[in-house]
């Protein structure tokens, strides 16, 4: 099980590379959104490892009560780019949205939104004694709701992206990861962290987290980096 997390990360990394390779017009935004999302993986583990899951790491980094690994960064990097790539393809192919133009102000704005989401997640967890997973999902929805209020054009693309990513996450677990590690749920996840509700043996919590994260990431990137008409 030591290399299982890394193998799961490789699945998402290969998907990231496929999107990066076959859609050259999206490469810049996929990379920079991944770069902005990457740190969220290790940071969020401060809360997730306390009450949600404890996946095996090849080399764990420990800072007080905070434990994380390179796998956490690589997963968030790949997942962020995948969500952005899907959302951008939908927005440009079906809604003929303007191209994203990268600049440093936009990137800093995006990174700030990612950090704001983590801060809100931590605040919800502490103030309302919420499990970190639910705090994470709620923080995604709160910030995304504000973005949708400011940019209603993003709503349908965001919802479709969320559904596609939920399907992709379910396929990853059901068709790949559980085939290799059928007992991984009992080994990694806290028993009281899961409701027991599953779809094709995949915990519903994992699907909801993936969908809410995708709903947040794509619109947050476009809200931050489109500099023609967005202020």
Q: State the DSSP string of 32-54.
A: HHHHHHTTHHHHHHHHHHHHTB-
Predicted TM-score of the model (pTM): 0.95
Q: Is 158 part of any domain?
A: yes
194: in domain: yes
Please give the tally of structural domains in the chain.
1
Residue 33 lies in a domain: yes
- The pLDDT tens digits of the residues spanning 94-134 come to 877 777 777 889 999 999 999 999 999 999 999 999 999 99
Residue 93 has what pLDDT? 84
Percent of the chain residues past pLDDT 70, beyond the cut: 98
231 in a structural domain: no
Domain limits at 129? 4-225
> How many other C-beta atoms can be found within 10 angstroms of the C-beta atom of residue 64?
6
For 64-96, how does the pLDDT look when each residue is reduced to its tens digit (9 = 90+)? Answer: 999 999 999 999 999 999 999 999 999 988 877
Q: Answer whether residue 230 is part of any domain.
A: no
Residue 77 lies in a domain: yes
What stretches of the chain adopt beta strand conformation (E)? 60-63, 66-69, 198-199, 202-203
Look at residue 102 and tell me if it is in a domain: yes
pLDDT of residue 84: 97
* Distance between CA atoms of residues 228 and 127, nearest Å: 39
pLDDT of 229 over the 80 cut:
no
Residue 66 · residue 54 · CB < 8 Å: no
């Amino acid at each position: 099980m030591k290399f299982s997390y890394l193998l799961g990360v490789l699945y998402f990394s290969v998907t990231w590379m496929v999107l990066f390779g076959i859609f050259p017009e999206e490469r810049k935004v996929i990379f920079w959104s991944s770069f902005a999302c990457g740190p969220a993986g290790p940071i969020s583990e401060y809360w997730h490892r306390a009450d949600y899951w404890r996946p095996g790491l090849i080399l764990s980094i420990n800072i007080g009560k905070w434990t994380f690994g390179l796998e956490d960064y690589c997963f968030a990097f790949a997942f962020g780019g995948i969500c952005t790539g899907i959302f951008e393809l939908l927005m440009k192919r079906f809604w003929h949205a303007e191209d994203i133009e990268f600049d440093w102000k936009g990137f800093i704005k995006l990174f700030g939104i990612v950090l704001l989401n983590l801060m809100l997640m931590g605040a919800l967890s502490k103030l309302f004694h919420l499990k970190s997973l639910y705090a994470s999902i709620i923080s995604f929805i709160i910030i995304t709701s504000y973005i949708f209020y400011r940019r209603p054009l993003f709503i349908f693309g965001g919802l479709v992206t969320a559904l596609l990513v939920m399907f992709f996450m379910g396929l990853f677990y059901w068709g790949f990861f559980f085939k290799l590690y059928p007992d991984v749920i009992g080994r990694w996840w806290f028993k009281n962290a899961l409701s027991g509700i599953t779809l094709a043996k995949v915990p519903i919590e994992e699907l909801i987290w993936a969908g809410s994260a995708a709903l947040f990431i794509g619109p947050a990137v476009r809200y931050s980096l489109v500099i023609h008409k967005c202020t």
